[in-house]
Structure 1
Amino acid sequence: MNKVYTIGYEGKDIDEFLELLRKKGVQHLVDVRSYPTSRREKFDKENLKDRLFHESILYKHIPEMGGLRDEDYEEVMEEEDWKDGFEELKEIASEGKTVLMCLEKDPMRCHRRFIAERLEEEGWEVVHIGRGGSWKEKSLDDF
């Protein structure tokens, strides 16, 4: 079974964030923010991409999967651009350990949960990084 991790960087500094990725041997980070900027400079796209490069983690931003939308995210998931992004995500995740990243630490308050549900529907295992930095192997039903 294929596996995908998810993480929110809220409440984490960059070193803690990178340590969590190292512990699981993450090879790919897929940024699913609509706009890959942050008030926390180290999580801006170019800064993050550079730090990940030094950790031998490949960075990919898929803006088509971003969550800041006027319309319902479940409706967005039916758009061709979103579906193309989802296929790209699965290709990346098939190549090595992959984590989806957005801001929110709680996946139930983030559009990552919708992505996770779709992955689970297609037979993928989704593992959310738990509160406090622990790794919890839970399905969305456990939240």
Structure 2
Amino acid sequence: MSVTDRFTGLTSIGYQGHDLDSFLARLSAEGVSLLVDVRLNPVSRKRGFSKRALAAALDSVGIGYEHARPLGNPKDNRAGFGGGPDELQAAKQRFSERLDEPAAREWIANIASWSTERKVALLCFEADQERCHRDVVAAAVKTEARRLG
């Protein structure tokens, strides 16, 4: 987990390398009270990380759950996040353009607002935030939080 901006209470986590218990323990240790799932489709082959099961597990430890589908990375843009520096930059740029869509802007604004009041974690699979579209989401939320600030 990497803290994106302590002032706004925004953090980010990938569940890669975690089982459900270690994942919940990590969120609890960080003081997260709301998890925003930025996967396009919140399904997983990994036990406990699909939408309903994850929401129930989070609820059992006092953490809220929201699925922000408009902040998901389309399948055709995912490979670039695993590529070299040029592919990674191009994938981030393509994804950042999606954040200009009204539904995405609304989610960004909501997350920025929530993160001024509580600790919010952005969720996707990839452990390395730099290699995940949630890095772009986090930057947009941080910018919006400053604008609101």
- Place the TM-score, normalised by the shorter chain, in its bin: 0.7 to 0.9
Question: Counterpart of 2:115?
Answer: 93
Q: Once the 2 structures are TM-superposed, how far is the Cα of residue 29 of structure 1 from its aligned partner?
A: 0.5
Q: Distance in 1 between matches of 2:109 and 2:144?
A: 12
Paired residues of 2:13 and 2:123 also in contact (CA < 8 A)? yes
CA deviation map 1:13-63 (0-9, x unaligned)? 011101101111111111000000001130000000001111010111110
Percent identical:
34
Q: Distance in 2 between matches of 1:90 and 1:14?
A: 26
Paired residues of 2:112 and 2:144 also in contact (CA < 8 A)? no
Q: Residue 122 and residue 81 in structure 1: after superposition, are their counterparts in 2 closer, same or farther (change >3 A)?
A: closer
Question: Counterpart of 1:47?
Answer: 53
Question: Counterpart of 2:16?
Answer: 10
Please list every run of 5 or more consecutive structure 1 residues that lacks an aligned counterpart in the other structure: 125-143
* Superposition CA RMSD, Å: 1.6
Q: Secondary structure at the match of 2:48?
A: helix
Match of 1:36 among 22, 32, 42: 42
Please list every run of 5 or more consecutive structure 2 residues that lacks an aligned counterpart in the other structure: 1-6, 78-93
Question: Counterpart of 2:89?
Answer: none
Q: How many residues align?
A: 124
Q: Once the 2 structures are TM-superposed, how far is the Cα of residue 11 of structure 1 from its aligned partner?
A: 1.0
Q: Distance in 1 between matches of 2:76 and 2:103?
A: 16
Q: Residue 89 and residue 123 in structure 1: after superposition, are their counterparts in 2 closer, same or farther (change >3 A)?
A: closer
Question: Counterpart of 1:60?
Answer: 66
CA deviation map 1:113-137 (0-9, x unaligned)? 111222333466xxxxxxxxxxxxx
Paired residues of 1:7 and 1:100 also in contact (CA < 8 A)? yes
Question: Counterpart of 1:79?
Answer: 101
The structure whose residues are more often helix, as a share, is 2
Q: Once the 2 structures are TM-superposed, how far is the Cα of residue 88 of structure 1 from its aligned partner?
A: 1.8
Match of 2:141 among 119, 122, 134: 119
TM-score by length of 1: 0.80
Task: Output the amino acid matched with 1:8.
Answer: G
TM-score by length of 2: 0.77
Q: Secondary structure at the match of 1:11?
A: coil
Paired residues of 1:28 and 1:93 also in contact (CA < 8 A)? no
Q: Once the 2 structures are TM-superposed, how far is the Cα of residue 3 of structure 1 from its aligned partner?
A: 2.4
